[in-house]
Amino acid sequence: MKRKQNIKIRLFSILAILFLVISFAFPTFAFGPSSDIIYQGIDVSSWQRKIDFSAVKRSGIDVVYIKSSEGQSYIDPYFETNYQNAKANGLKVGFYHYVTARTIEQARTQANFFARVVSGKQADCRLAMDFENFGNLSVAEINEISKVFLETLVNATQSEVVIYSNAYSARTIFSQTLTNYPLWVANYGVSKPGSNGKWETWVGWQYTSTGTINGISGYVDKNQFTDGILLSSTDPIPDVPEAPDVPSTENTIVYTVKKGDTLSQIAQRYGTTVSSIVALNPSIQNPNLIYPGQQFKISTLSSGNSSNIYIVKSGDTLSHIAIRYSTTVSNLVRLNGIKNPNLIYPGQKIVISTMNSSTETGQNACGKISYSIQLGDTLSQIAAQYHTTVQEIVLLNQISNPNLIYAGNTILISNCRQ
């Protein structure tokens, strides 16, 4: 019995030594908050629709991250409202951009777009890169796009940034080279975020996507943030000028390639030729290879029309622009290849075509007619009848509720001969 006990003791000692050797050879990776100061936070977008930020503040929330933008042209429709109301209620504010880039050039374009959207705003928290849908990109491509996006964003805004990532991507996709940027990690159903073997700490932890809170109808993402999420300066984010390599002049426009575009189609649309576009843009190596997000210059001199360039300002809509220049939304959509007329953004260039003074056809000439509403009319029917839009009629007549119109009332309608 004693001999067996000695054998057991020796075996236990050997196992203990092996355990210590392995522990020192492969140390566990500590992963926790970057400081002991914790702020309660949420992140919001148009999914939450109208938010009562005073109730949110009273519920103990300190920080709100607001979706500002996505891709290279989408601005969250609640961005401005959420920013103003969150600030008015004393919440610390941060902004995030949903990245859809598939090339390095698109990464630069999207970073600059994000910077332009938030320029002039007073952020309290780091600007966040939300890159989580990778399509068919390789790991190397994902990391290169992330690196270029973050570097471009820092250079454009002179602000600190943060990477938002779920725990799996932080562990398996994002590389060690990105750890010089802090991590805001999403990891649900756990008592603390799991280690990823790269970042030693987190500055943000999104711990649920089904949180509830006073002031918000439905679910909302809830987070904990450390003081590492805060910016070192809360000065307004500086204005971001247009890139110097895509100038726009009186006779030149800058066109952004849309999905499905070909140079032949674009040349036909602007009354020019493929060879003219290629000659004006040495970056086009192969006229048969252009990609969404690519930008190049197009001369409008060869067109029978003269063209004005309008730069979209904050608060603009296509309806406002159309009425201002006596044209229609449909003309602007067709001329600029706009996929969604409800999605335009500050800094975007809109081509507005005006006919030469010698033109006798009267095309694109817009006037206003008076229409007396009949019993049973709807704005949709009236808009269809006069080849306009409900939005244009509402804007022109300052109609507060497009579903409430009354027989006998007279409204103005923009009547354009096309």
Report the number of secondary-structure helices (H) and strands (E) in the chain.
12, 17
Which amino acid appears at position 107 of this protein?
A: A
Give the phi and the psi of residue 83 in degrees, each rounded to 5: -65, -50
How far is it, in rounded angstroms, from Cα 56 to Cα 41?
10
Q: Which two tokens stand for residue 384?
A: 């269809």
Would you say the C-alpha torsion 78, 81, 86, 92 has a positive or negative sign? positive
Which amino acid appears at position 17 of this protein?
A: I
Looking at 43, 70, 130, 221, which residue is catalytic?
43
Q: Could you tell me whether strands 201-202 and 32-33 are parallel, antiparallel, or unpaired per DSSP bridges?
A: parallel
Cα separation of the two ends of the chain = 106
How far is it, in rounded angstroms, from Cα 165 to Cα 184?
6
Separation in Å, CA 278 to CA 82, 272, 306: 43, 11, 21
Residue found under tokens 């003074």: 357
Looking at 52, 105, 124, 132, which residue is catalytic?
132
Do residues 411 and 371 touch, judged by C-beta distance below 8 A? Answer: yes
Residues in the chain: 418
How far is it, in rounded angstroms, from Cα 94 to Cα 182?
15
Do residues 93 and 83 touch, judged by C-beta distance below 8 A? Answer: yes
Residue 128 CB coordination number (10 Å): 25
43 is catalytic: yes
Q: Could you tell me whether strands 349-354 and 306-311 are parallel, antiparallel, or unpaired per DSSP bridges?
A: antiparallel
How far is it, in rounded angstroms, from Cα 7 to Cα 14?
11
H-helix segments, 100-190: 104-118, 139-157, 167-172
Do residues 346 and 240 touch, judged by C-beta distance below 8 A? Answer: no
Residue found under tokens 């290279």: 72
221 is catalytic: no
Helix pair angle (104-118, 139-157), 10° resolution: 30
Catalytic residue numbers read 43, 132
